[in-house]
């Protein structure tokens, strides 16, 4: 294992050794501005996030709900480019020494060039990529170059995925498995539901990779619930909403830092609940 995929694995293992889930935050690059986005990523690390996913804004984000679509639109209208995404990764990693991934749809990478993107992401200190719309069967070229540059390839599984399909996906992936807690797009939900726990159980039957749950987690109570059974708790829309609702960039960054601290406390409470259940 080479490159920052090692850092990613070590971070997840360290959280497990503490008896807790990792807190994984998502923020789009270029939102509310490129510089503001970089400061927001640093802030959520300061607040208690273990890992950050930096979103590559896309004009047709099929997995993303209205909150993240709004942020992507702001970033795109601001002129964000892949170079800005890579700069966000580089500056966040350099400032914190913590694992930073890119979450992106396949089309921008395909147009940019797989070899070029993987080389530049690794050079920036990136730990890997989450690729929600890249079918495993078509991922050979990506995985070849990701492995060459020491990058994790994180695939997404859904509650609708059959067990055989989950096994195919987890065999091809690295870093961790992204388990979508429910069907649909990103966004806050009133509850995460039992579907997520069942999906984690099914994924663990196929792989030793950590299983991290996202889509719908937005509150400390939900983070606590998911931390009771998952290796990582992924939160995106709630961070974006805090920034969108703030009166200015500095206030938004402070609000994101505060939410990270609240969620980190929830994750640790979930660890205590998991420990009590196992004792």
Residues recognised as catalytic: 53, 64
Q: Which residues contact 20 (CB under 8 A, 6 or more apart)?
A: 227, 267, 268, 270, 271
Q: Which residues contact 121 (CB under 8 A, 6 or more apart)?
A: 86, 89, 102, 129, 149, 151
Beta pairing, strands 22-28 & 156-157: unpaired
Tell me how many degrees the CA angle 125-234-56 measures, rounded to the nearest 5: 50
CA distances 172 to 51, 113, 267, Å, are: 22, 21, 28
β partners of residue 225: none
Q: Is the peptide bond before 6 cis (omega within 30 degrees of 0)?
A: no
> How far is the C-alpha of 199 from the C-alpha of 181, rounded, in Å?
8
Residue 130 has φ and ψ, to the nearest 5°, of -105, 125
Tell me how many degrees the CA angle 73-122-150 measures, rounded to the nearest 5: 125
């Amino acid at each position: 294992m080479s490159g920052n995929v090692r850092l990613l694995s070590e971070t997840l293992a360290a959280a497990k050794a503490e008896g807790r889930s990792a807190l994984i935050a998502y923020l789009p690059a270029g939102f509310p501005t490129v510089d503001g986005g970089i400061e927001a990523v640093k802030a959520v690390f300061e607040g208690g996030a273990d890992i950050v996913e930096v979103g590559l804004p896309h004009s047709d984000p099929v997995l993303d709900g209205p909150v993240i679509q709004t942020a992507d639109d702001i970033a795109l209208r601001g002129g964000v480019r892949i170079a800005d995404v890579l700069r966000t990764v580089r500056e966040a990693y350099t400032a914190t020494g913590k694992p930073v991934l890119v979450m992106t749809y396949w089309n921008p990478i395909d147009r940019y060039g797989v070899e070029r993107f993987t080389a530049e992401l690794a050079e920036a200190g990136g730990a890997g990529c989450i690729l929600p719309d890249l079918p495993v069967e078509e991922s050979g070229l990506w995985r070849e170059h990701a492995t060459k540059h020491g990058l994790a390839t994180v695939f997404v599984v859904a509650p609708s995925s059959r067990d055989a399909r989950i096994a195919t996906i987890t065999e091809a992936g690295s870093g961790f498995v992204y388990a979508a807690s429910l069907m649909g797009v990103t966004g806050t939900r009133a509850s995460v539901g039992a579907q997520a726990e069942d999906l984690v159980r099914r994924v663990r039957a196929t792989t030793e990779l950590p299983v991290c749950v996202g889509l719908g987690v937005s509150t400390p109570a939900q983070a606590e619930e998911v931390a009771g059974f998952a290796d990582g708790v992924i939160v995106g829309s709630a961070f974006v909403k805090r920034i969108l609702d703030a009166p200015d960039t500095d206030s938004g960054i402070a609000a994101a830092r505060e939410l990270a601290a609240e969620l980190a406390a929830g994750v640790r409470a979930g660890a205590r609940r998991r420990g009590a259940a196992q004792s």
